[in-house]
Structure 1
Amino acid sequence: EVFSEQRAIVESWTPKIYPRFTQSQEKVEQIVLEAIKEQLARRQQPETITKNFVKFLSIACGLVEIRIIAVSRIETWLHNHKLMKPAQELLAYLCYNCSASSQRDLEVIAQLSKLRLKNKPMLNYFNNCLREMVYSSPE
């Protein structure tokens, strides 16, 4: 009886969730894009890119501009032994965030189809990522 009363009280609670970043979403996207472009302009050679930068790109892959930037450089990162794990994570995020709904995402998919992966484990990982991309957006 006491339990049912407490349960009724808890179920009557309606938490107020306020979206904190709705007004500043475009500003945050612009800051992230500028930071990534600045880092890529500063570091021309692929071996000067750090693991943390590739992880940052993975986090920012929700933005289509970041996906376009990342897909153009991911092949060299996948073949770099120091960056292989974060680059695989980036590949997974690229595939997960791609959809056939926009022309720019179709460009990303076209770039992904042109990747030349050398070893079999990497090729299997790539195929799994593509399979997940197809399952997540079947259009």
Structure 2
Amino acid sequence: MDNDFPSLMSHVSIGTDDLERATRFYDAVLATLGCKRVMEHPSAVAYGRLYPEFWVQIPLDGAPATRGNGTHFGFLARSRAEVDAFHRAALTAGGVDDGAPGPRPHYGAPYYGGFVRDPDGHKIEACFWDAALDESADA
């Protein structure tokens, strides 16, 4: 793995019709993962640890924002505790539970995740891959 670029993705964007509500939610939730606002425009806000990776924005075409059926966004946590904190913060900030934090053995023994729906209905998740439980790493 190239340590300079550990992620495949540059960034993703989601739409909202209420930027103020959405940014209040993501300010609280993404802080649990060490993320913050890293860029702001009148109709968009970007979050990340170092650079803009996750954007919340008013759709550029002026049409109402919609969510994708089958689409969800997974955020990397650095520990199980961060997954738990993410889930709690999301529920406190107006999100809806879509799968309590816990192991997901069907995704692999090291996988621990928690799922919520944000106030716009987007499915989001925080997950932690516990390398100590990764049997494939020894192969």
Q: Same fold (TM over 0.5)?
A: no
Higher helix share: 1
- TM-score, normalization by structure 2: 0.29
TM-score (norm 1): 0.29
Pair member with larger Rg: 1
